[in-house]
């Protein structure tokens, strides 16, 4: 069986999708942060602002995990990186759901991010079969 695996990691569809998710999550976070950065009348801050930072952190971790899994020679270590990717995508979905309830117009863009995450999961399943 000859799987057509690109010689360069950056050509992998899953890697490209991870980078798309990173750019999208950064833009959404910036938009949401502008709306949520103001203090409430009682002087407290909106707790949803932290979830917007979480989606960026988790998105930034996708590509390095793909790189590590791709470079790993031993299957048990590959599986650790694959499990980490699954946890990251799960946490991203959860944080998107939490941000759906925030008081910001940026939440209108979260379904786009969730759609990209679903595409990423499909690519991930196919990519896992080639490792």
Structure confidence at residue 131 (pLDDT): 75
Q: Who wins on pLDDT, 95 or 45?
A: 95
Could you read off the pLDDT of 41-77 as tens digits, one per residue? 787 777 778 888 999 999 999 999 999 998 888 888 8
Structure confidence at residue 83 (pLDDT): 94
Tell me the average pLDDT across 107-112: 90
Structure confidence at residue 1 (pLDDT): 36
**Domain residue spans in the chain?**
9-34+46-130
For the cut 60, the answer to whether the pLDDT of residue 3 exceeds it is: no
Structure confidence at residue 20 (pLDDT): 96
Which superfamily does 9-34+46-130 belong to? 23S rRNA-intervening sequence (1.20.1440.60)
Tally of CA atoms within 13 A in the half-sphere of 83 that contains its CB = 6
For the chain, the C-alpha Rg in angstroms (whole number) is 17
Could you read off the pLDDT of 4-35 as tens digits, one per residue? 444 577 889 999 999 999 999 999 999 888 88
Question: Whole-prediction pTM value?
Answer: 0.86
Could you read off the pLDDT of 77-88 as tens digits, one per residue? 889 999 999 999
Cα separation, 64 vs 53, whole angstroms? 18
Structure confidence at residue 49 (pLDDT): 80
């Amino acid at each position: 069986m000859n799987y057509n695996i690109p010689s360069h990691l950056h050509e992998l569809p899953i890697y490209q999708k991870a980078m798309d998710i990173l750019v999208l999550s950064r833009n959404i976070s910036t938009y949401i942060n502008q709306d949520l950065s103001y203090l409430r009348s009682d002087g407290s801050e909106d707790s949803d602002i932290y979830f917007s930072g979480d989606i960026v952190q988790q998105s930034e971790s996708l590509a390095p995990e793909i790189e590590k899994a791709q470079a790993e020679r031993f299957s048990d270590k590959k599986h650790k990186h694959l499990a980490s990717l699954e946890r990251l995508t799960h946490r991203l979905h959860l944080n998107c759901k939490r941000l759906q309830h925030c008081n910001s117009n940026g939440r209108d863009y979260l379904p786009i991010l969730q759609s990209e995450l679903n595409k990423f999961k499909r690519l991930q399943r196919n990519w896992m079969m080639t490792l």
